[in-house]
Chains A and B, each alone.
Chain A
């Protein structure tokens, strides 16, 4: 039996997500969208490449998602899968094959119609070893993918074209996260890729709501509206991504009206959120981002669960969120943030309890405390967090020495198991299995599990969750795994980031996207003319 895939999300969770999700101010919905205008938004660095197979960075994807189309999309409000250029998709009874039906009349910016063959080409290009795409991991279990990668087959057997507008993709394993991969599979036209070669990443041709116009390196990327877009002509006629690396400069640009919206940091949050003139233009949402201190569970004394729990009890997270983070975060109780479908409201986590922390250290035979290196990146914000941790840890006898180092160096050393702790933000998608990736024993090392954490029961639960397409069951399994992880404390669970943007008063249609605030559906945004 085949059925239409409509992911089921528990009503309570949907309600909670909607409640917590930032939305644009109410009266906006009542206004009619205006056409035209030049919309300017910020990128904090050059996007490097706009080839969908390259540059898996937020800044690059923020641009690419406007130039290209994907088969499926993630609704930024509900985090449900919704149609992209595939207007329907079905999943087979054995849960391994997805059949997509493409919309008719979707055209690339060169005028040619998009057909099923383009999807097959895009997938195979992504998997080809010479492309060396880091996006390939989402598709390398498709039937025949490994043979194709090893150059033992000239195409991927599991990708079948059924007719001009339909194709099926068969995975070799049952994996509930598989459909999600198609939300980031941006379809490319073969003839343009072949014509432009490596330059395709510099002068991309897609089918999205905006057409690539110009890219001045380290300065700006210009897109113009695609009048023939299948979803309708975008409201704004020109979209400019201005590359502004310095946050203080970005603020000056916003304050002088030369940016239409800006992402706020801990430092700038209160200035706009508390200002009566601006606060109605502030959109905030609990981001799918869990900040933590990774604890290497193989390094004494962190190999003792009581010591790791003591660290979790020792630090007053609420006070740190209130003061150092200026309230721009939510206290973490576990792995999943409040906007995640698997967020568990009943999970209590670790309250601030220094006495309990001292007791646990005594039980672990560490009456006199111990020395601990606290590693973090060199940003000033991380520095402030580290000082906060140091203060609280000292109160229970843990003598922390702060080591701030280059982010890449820290990540590398943590991956090799060289350092005992590191401050990191874990970002993930809406699927709970993906989100728990760093706790799977098969991911030990740079693959994400830098803590070298291993709990057989957690592995089993995540494996089971990965195989089920029943969302309720999947969430239950993930939450059960999360409980065990919180008990084992391979992280100090710090906070969930609150993503916040502030926009100009005449901007409409921006949404609070918990996956990434910068992933805005720009075809739905418009600028109200100033009177």
Chain B
């Protein structure tokens, strides 16, 4: 029965994803049509900013821009349904291949940033909650506020200036083995997220540690460690997991600024570069890919609720 309910839940969620996909592509398509700027102009003559009308005509024909706009959209939808996201105007390369080429770098950075955020944010939040109104609590709140407020590009440049240029400990930028290349971008991206996680953990823990079952646990003689980690943290985890899920979806969509500062070859830069030259197939493909990640991660977050709180059932 449980398995059947679970399967129904998955099918239901996946079916709901279809209108989301169509909506996302439609909005992207319409936006790219509305925004002024012609891909033909932007891709033809970068240096002299002039356009040869005959060549422009050939490019339009090649890209199918001669078709009426609704036909262009329907063709895209039809091809996308067959797994074909088209060919980039800018690179003449298969859109899906381009995205998949960048995704490992994005995933690596997102994973490392998340690990940093969890490793710093959760212990900090738990300790701050346990020592509410202490100096440690105030200091951690202050640190979290600074962490949230610091712009990525600023922190990134600061780290480069200190760790790469001044101390020469790390390379300033580039993509390579995790140590040394991943450290600075992951720290830059993870710092803000760690602050969010710390603040959320603190407030969630404060709510939970006042519950009767925590007092009961202590009365039963459980160790403080077990009370906090197994009983309090697990119950406080639902809002934290929800927020982490949303944040990780964002990270996996590419972190444009961090990627730019550290010359990290991720999906975020690909999307922004494509929008800059109105490369519709690539922009459309990236948005669709990001939407897929959001949907899948939200699904994963929903599954995790049942594990965290067995009272939650999928029906």
Given contacts A51-B92, A411-B41, contact A443 B269 (CB under 8 A): no
The verdict on B161 contacting chain A, using a C-beta distance below 8 Å, is yes
B263 to chain A, nearest CB (A): 5
Q: What residues of chain A lie closer than 8 Å to B5, measured between beta carbons?
A: none
Q: What residues of chain B lie closer than 8 Å to A413, measured between beta carbons?
A: 36
User: Are B93 and A201 in touch, CB under 8 angstroms?
Assistant: yes
The verdict on B196 contacting chain A, using a C-beta distance below 8 Å, is no
Beyond A249-B261, A447-B51, 8 additional pairs, beta carbon < 8 A: A48-B90, A48-B92, A49-B92, A242-B174, A246-B260, A252-B161, A408-B277, A437-B50
How many of B's residues come within 8 Å of A, CB to CB?
Answer: 56
Bound: A373/B133 CA distance, A = 56
For chain B residues 4-43, which have a beta carbon within 8 Å of chain A? 35-38, 41-43
Q: What residues of chain B lie closer than 8 Å to A217, measured between beta carbons?
A: 98, 101-102, 265
How many of A's residues come within 8 Å of B, CB to CB?
Answer: 57
The verdict on A260 contacting chain B, using a C-beta distance below 8 Å, is no
User: Are A253 and B172 in touch, CB under 8 angstroms?
Assistant: yes
- Looking at the complex, which one of A218, A256, A427 makes contact with B165 (CB distance below 8 Å)? A256
The verdict on A417 contacting chain B, using a C-beta distance below 8 Å, is no
The verdict on B183 contacting chain A, using a C-beta distance below 8 Å, is no
The verdict on A248 contacting chain B, using a C-beta distance below 8 Å, is yes
- Looking at the complex, which one of B52, B101, B175 makes contact with A134 (CB distance below 8 Å)? B52
For chain B residues 29-75, which have a beta carbon within 8 Å of chain A? 35-38, 41-56, 58-59, 61-62
| Chain A, Cβ-Cβ closest to B257 | A246
| Chain B, Cβ-Cβ closest to A428 | B48
User: Are A218 and B265 in touch, CB under 8 angstroms?
Assistant: yes
The verdict on B171 contacting chain A, using a C-beta distance below 8 Å, is yes
For chain A residues 133-161, which have a beta carbon within 8 Å of chain B? 133-134, 136-137, 140, 149
User: Are B173 and A134 in touch, CB under 8 angstroms?
Assistant: no
User: Are B92 and A446 in touch, CB under 8 angstroms?
Assistant: no
User: Are A58 and B168 in touch, CB under 8 angstroms?
Assistant: no
User: Are B58 and A412 in touch, CB under 8 angstroms?
Assistant: no
User: Are B161 and A447 in touch, CB under 8 angstroms?
Assistant: no
The verdict on B294 contacting chain A, using a C-beta distance below 8 Å, is no
Can you show 5 pairs from A to B with CB atoms below 8 A apart?
Answer: A258-B172, A408-B277, A446-B51, A448-B50, A516-B47
User: Are A408 and B38 in touch, CB under 8 angstroms?
Assistant: yes
Given contacts A48-B90, A217-B265, A245-B263, contact A426 B172 (CB under 8 A): no
User: Are B92 and A218 in touch, CB under 8 angstroms?
Assistant: no
| Chain B, Cβ-Cβ closest to A438 | B50
- Looking at the complex, which one of A51, A134, A255 makes contact with B59 (CB distance below 8 Å)? A134
| Chain A, Cβ-Cβ closest to B172 | A252
The verdict on A54 contacting chain B, using a C-beta distance below 8 Å, is yes
Q: Which residues from chain B sit less than 8 Å from chain A, CB to CB?
A: 35-38, 41-56, 58-59, 61-62, 87, 90-93, 98, 101-102, 105, 157, 160-161, 164-165, 168, 171-175, 260-263, 265-266, 269-270, 273, 276-278
The verdict on A409 contacting chain B, using a C-beta distance below 8 Å, is yes
The verdict on A130 contacting chain B, using a C-beta distance below 8 Å, is yes
A216 to chain B, nearest CB (A): 7
The verdict on A243 contacting chain B, using a C-beta distance below 8 Å, is yes
The verdict on A349 contacting chain B, using a C-beta distance below 8 Å, is no
Q: What residues of chain B lie closer than 8 Å to A245, measured between beta carbons?
A: 260, 263, 269
Q: What residues of chain B lie closer than 8 Å to A220, measured between beta carbons?
A: 174
B87 to chain A, nearest CB (A): 7
Given contacts A132-B55, A258-B171, A447-B50, contact A243 B277 (CB under 8 A): no
Q: What residues of chain B lie closer than 8 Å to A426, measured between beta carbons?
A: 48-49
Bound: A217/B102 CA distance, A = 7
User: Are B173 and A244 in touch, CB under 8 angstroms?
Assistant: yes
User: Are A246 and B261 in touch, CB under 8 angstroms?
Assistant: yes
User: Are A46 and B92 in touch, CB under 8 angstroms?
Assistant: no
User: Are A406 and B51 in touch, CB under 8 angstroms?
Assistant: no
B189 to chain A, nearest CB (A): 15
For A240-279 the 0/1 string (1 means CB < 8 A from B) is 0011111011001101101000000000000000000000
For A492-531 the 0/1 string (1 means CB < 8 A from B) is 0000000000000000000000001000000000000000
The verdict on A232 contacting chain B, using a C-beta distance below 8 Å, is no
- Looking at the complex, which one of A149, A253, A412, A437 makes contact with B48 (CB distance below 8 Å)? A437
- Looking at the complex, which one of B38, B105, B161, B273 makes contact with A45 (CB distance below 8 Å)? B273
| Chain B, Cβ-Cβ closest to A198 | B92
User: Are B165 and A255 in touch, CB under 8 angstroms?
Assistant: yes
| Chain B, Cβ-Cβ closest to A414 | B49
- Looking at the complex, which one of B51, B92, B164, B261 makes contact with A201 (CB distance below 8 Å)? B92
B48 to chain A, nearest CB (A): 5
A218 to chain B, nearest CB (A): 3
Q: What residues of chain A lie closer than 8 Å to B44, measured between beta carbons?
A: 56, 134
Bound: A426/B49 CA distance, A = 7
Q: What residues of chain A lie closer than 8 Å to B157, measured between beta carbons?
A: 248-249
Of the candidates A51, A252, A413, the one having the most CB atoms from chain B within 10 angstroms of its own CB is A252
Q: Which residues from chain A sit less than 8 Å from chain B, CB to CB?
A: 45-46, 48-49, 51, 54-58, 129-130, 132-134, 136-137, 140, 149, 198, 201-202, 216-220, 242-246, 248-249, 252-253, 255-256, 258, 406, 408-409, 411-413, 415, 424, 426-428, 437-438, 443, 446-448, 516
User: Are B55 and A133 in touch, CB under 8 angstroms?
Assistant: yes
Q: What residues of chain B lie closer than 8 Å to A45, measured between beta carbons?
A: 273
Q: What residues of chain B lie closer than 8 Å to A437, measured between beta carbons?
A: 48, 50
User: Are A253 and B37 in touch, CB under 8 angstroms?
Assistant: no
Q: What residues of chain A lie closer than 8 Å to B49, measured between beta carbons?
A: 411, 424, 426, 448
User: Are A48 and B54 in touch, CB under 8 angstroms?
Assistant: no
User: Are B263 and A244 in touch, CB under 8 angstroms?
Assistant: yes
User: Are A134 and B45 in touch, CB under 8 angstroms?
Assistant: yes
User: Are A137 and B54 in touch, CB under 8 angstroms?
Assistant: yes
Bound: A171/B98 CA distance, A = 40
Of the candidates A201, A246, A255, A413, the one having the most CB atoms from chain B within 10 angstroms of its own CB is A246
Bound: A526/B77 CA distance, A = 52
- Looking at the complex, which one of A48, A58, A246 makes contact with B47 (CB distance below 8 Å)? A58
Given contacts A134-B59, A252-B161, contact A218 B36 (CB under 8 A): no
Bound: A249/B260 CA distance, A = 9
A113 to chain B, nearest CB (A): 28
Q: What residues of chain A lie closer than 8 Å to B42, measured between beta carbons?
A: 408, 411
User: Are A218 and B37 in touch, CB under 8 angstroms?
Assistant: no
Q: What residues of chain B lie closer than 8 Å to A202, measured between beta carbons?
A: 93
B134 to chain A, nearest CB (A): 40
User: Are B36 and A409 in touch, CB under 8 angstroms?
Assistant: yes
Bound: A303/B231 CA distance, A = 78
Q: What residues of chain A lie closer than 8 Å to B277, measured between beta carbons?
A: 408
Q: What residues of chain B lie closer than 8 Å to A409, measured between beta carbons?
A: 35-37
| Chain B, Cβ-Cβ closest to A426 | B48
Q: What residues of chain A lie closer than 8 Å to B276, measured between beta carbons?
A: 406, 408
Bound: A428/B265 CA distance, A = 32
Bound: A242/B172 CA distance, A = 12
Given contacts A48-B91, A49-B92, A249-B172, contact A411 B263 (CB under 8 A): no
- Looking at the complex, which one of B46, B62, B263 makes contact with A219 (CB distance below 8 Å)? B263
Bound: A409/B42 CA distance, A = 10
Across the A-B interface, the 6 shortest Cβ-Cβ residue pairs: A408-B37, A218-B265, A448-B50, A252-B172, A137-B52, A132-B62
User: Are A443 and B160 in touch, CB under 8 angstroms?
Assistant: no
A272 to chain B, nearest CB (A): 15
Bound: A358/B68 CA distance, A = 51
Given contacts A218-B269, A252-B172, A408-B276, contact A447 B53 (CB under 8 A): yes
User: Are B62 and A246 in touch, CB under 8 angstroms?
Assistant: no
